[in-house]
Structure 1
Amino acid sequence: MKAALVSDALGWRHDLAGCLHGCMATLLHHRGVAPLETLGAAWGFWHLPGDIRREEYYYPCDSGVSLLGALAPYHPVRSTWHHPADAAEGWAQVRAEVAAGRLVAVAVDNFELPFRPAYQDVHSNHMVIVQGFDEERGTVRVLDAVPPRFHGDITLEQLTAARDSGNPAVHDRDMFFTDVRIGNRWLSVELDAAPEDFPAFDRAHIRSVIERNVEGFRKGTPGPRLTGAEGLTAFLAWAGERLAAGEAVRDELFVVTGAALACTAVHADWLALAARTLAEPGLADAARGVERIAHHFSAIRIMSALTSSGELGPDRLARRSHALRSDLEQVLDVLAYEGAAL
């Protein structure tokens, strides 16, 4: 087979989420699973201090839990990272998947991708979908739903360079997602049940999800694994204390709040979908409240980039953190009420 193209590659995008949610949505949709209903259900805060990976697709995972399993713990889905020995084996594995009719998510360095704004400028650990290949032309079909959105062909040589990159931090613009070798990794998705046997998006399921999320926030712990509202408070306080002491907090604050931002923003859309499905205006109000929390995380993430230049002090971070926690408590009260009323 000299060429192959997998059909039905959904370009899924949320303005406040990144390549992780986009690629997982594409892979799930291809397998017949509704992306938002699956990826948007779980909402919470989880972090183990020091356990961050310098990847744009970072998401906190407990030991033994896959990346997709952490994203969608209420559904029978999981993912597997594959670690080829080298670029040749990496392409042979991806090629075989595509030839068999399966989409593949691959880790890449934006520095080597001609359609990314960072091309030949900034190194960054990203993820895209490989949909097809044409060996006679020497091209691969790539889908990247992250703006400026690309769905088209690049050369196999370009993709190989992006997948085999050392992803070095060369200058001070190589922040957050560098200094981790890409390693030709690729990711596959597995379903532990047929799509028709997934939880129905009905009143009982929606009520259960809301109750579990509220309980997770309210029964969180302050350490060593930070979870829930108390864990979030402890993490932000820790960041403020380190900032006041003149220590570097930029990368960890940026990466951790990025994962929380994406989770929160996608859950807001899940709640809005639930409100429309059940014709429950109270859930629509809750969705707007959760979206407000997402924008708090967005602000803190932007603030984190200012810490290394001294443009952000601990007092300003503390004020935003207090506003986030105050709004979070209000939203949890609304969700507890609305969940009980379903």
Structure 2
Amino acid sequence: MTIASTVGTTVRPPRWNGAAGTYPQWYEDPLSCLQTTLGSVLLEHGLRPVDVLGQSCEFVFAPDDVMCEEFYRPVQSSRGVAGDLCPYHDVESAWTTGSTADDLIALIDEHSGVIVAVDNYYLPFRPAYQDVHAAHLVVVPAWRRTPDGDVEFYVSDVQPPAFQGWLSAEHLVASWTSGNPSDTQDVFFSSREIGGRVLTTKVRQPPEEPTTEQVVRALRGNLERWDNGVAGPTDRLWAGRSGLRRFVDHLSDQSADPASLRPAYTFGWSMQAQAFLHGRFARERAFRTDDAPLAAVAASADRVVSAWSNVRLLCAHAANVPEISELIRRRGEELLHAYEQLAVDWRLALSREWTDVR
């Protein structure tokens, strides 16, 4: 795709400005728009998303957060949500806001493209257009002016049915500044104002094949966070084994109130997606190196994914489930056991001598 010279210029050479074809997109079915948009940005920088996003796997929960967005994930570090998802790489992000097309143009120019929060209700390419309010993320890497002087933004949305192309500023700004009111058709991802939010990213990591040293570092870091997580009464975040135990107790305590269980569906998506990517990373590495302990890690990560499916769907449909209290406790214990087995396989993988066979 060729873009006219009226496309916005940037302070430094853009990573992608439309002159080299379509924007790189990356999608895996269990992932939310948080992972797919960030993965697409990593791909744009020449990195394999699975190699970067797949090294980390953890449990972390912020009990006081509002969890009604597809892209929700508790923020842990000063490097933002991108740094939390990629703790072993030089990646970071920050949320900022704007309200006009000019604000968005300035952010694109400064950051060579951005990830934009939107309400699907106002996007003509989404099935929810003019029907359902729901929070979502898209990548917006460029802008231009038409011959008539109107502003258009290039939008990349890999979530099915998938879209990329030019969109009028009218549509994008309406979606980006939406109040995203409560919608009975989507009780999980509506009711929180979009508020002109934009996620800016910095990726300083050069493309490279993960080394044995990096794999060991990731497994050790994952295990340390699992063993040393906290969940005290004054802790903002519940993390690791202690955090998951308290989370399971928390769900059990709330089981009589189905509406209070809904946030677990949203929150659990980010944890489930991370476990899925960790399994993919371990499986691919095991295949390339004929590494049986890493294959066991992959299998355990997959069991975590399945356990999250049970918990999330049960919490989403709790109002229609008989004996919900008993089932919540059972599924929660299964989730805890799945993470414990993953930790066992991390320990086993770390307990032997590693070689750098590729």
- Give the alignment's TM-score, normalised by structure 1: 0.89
> For residues 311 and 160 of structure 1, what CA distance do their matches in structure 2 show?
44
Question: Which residue of the partner structure matches residue 122 of structure 1?
Answer: 132
Assess, with a 3 A threshold, how the Cα gap between structure 1 residues 312 and 264 changes in structure 2: closer, same or farther. Answer: farther
**Within 5 A, what are the aligned runs for 1:174-189?**
174-189=186-201
Structure-1 residue corresponding to 2:246: 234
CA distance in 2, matches of 1:65, 1:150: 29
RMSD (CA atoms): 2.3
Query: Conserved in 1, the CA contact under 8 Å of 2:282 and 2:298?
Result: yes
Any gaps of 5 or more consecutive residues in structure 1? none
1:110 corresponds to: 120
What's 2:219 paired with? 210
CA change 1:327–1:194 in 2 (3 A) is closer
Aligned-pair CA distance for 1:142 = 1.6
CA contact 1:19–1:127 (8 Å) conserved in 2: yes
Structure 2 distance, partners of 1:89, 1:155, is: 13
- Conserved 8 A contact 2:114-2:199: yes
Say which SS state the counterpart of residue 255 (structure 2) adopts: helix
Q: Point out the more displaced range, 18-27 or 52-61.
A: 52-61
Q: Quick check: 1:2 aligned with 2:6? A: yes
- What's the CA shift string for 1:270-314, capped at 9, x where partnerless? 111221332213312321221121121122111121124556711
Identity of aligned residues (%): 28
How far 1:147 sits from its partner (Å)?
1.5
Is residue 31 of structure 2 the alignment partner of residue 17 of structure 1?
yes
Q: Secondary structure at the match of 1:195?
A: coil
CA deviation digits over 1:70-95, x for unaligned, max 9? 111111110122212x2233333245
| Alpha-carbon separation, structure 2, partners of 1:64 and 1:320 | 33
Q: Tell me, yes or no, if the aligned pair for 2:119 and 2:178 is still in contact at 8 Å.
A: yes
Distance 1:250 1:90, change over 3 A: farther
1:212 to 1:249, Cα distance in 2 relative to 1, 3 A: same
Structure 2 match to 1:151? 164
Distance 2:342 2:265 in 1: 24
Native 8 Å contact 1:243 1:314 kept in 2: yes
Give the conservation status (yes or no) of the 8 Å contact 2:79–2:94: no
Secondary structure at 2:271 match in 1:
helix
Structure-2-length-normalised TM-score:
0.85
Aligned to 2:106: 93
Q: Which runs of 5+ in 2 are unaligned?
A: 9-16
2:300 maps to what in 1? 289
Structure 1 residues 32-59: Cα deviation after superposition (integer angstroms, max 9, x where no partner):
3332211111111011211234321111
Contact 1:90–1:185 (CA<8 Å) still a contact in 2? no
In 1, distance between residues paired with 2:322 and 2:24? 40
Q: What is the CA deviation profile of residues 234-268 of structure 1, one whole-angstrom value per residue up to 9, with x for unaligned ones?
A: 10221111113x36323321222112111111111
2:83 match: 69
Aligned residues: 333
Aligned to 2:92: 78
Aligned residue in 2 for 1:26: 40
Q: Cα gap change, 1:51/1:32 in structure 2, threshold over 3 Å: closer, same or farther?
A: same
Please state how far the C-alpha of 1:24 moved relative to its aligned partner: 0.7
| Residue 210 (structure 2) aligned to one of 191, 194, 201 | 201
What's the offset of the Cα at 1:195? 1.1
SS in 2 for 1:189: strand
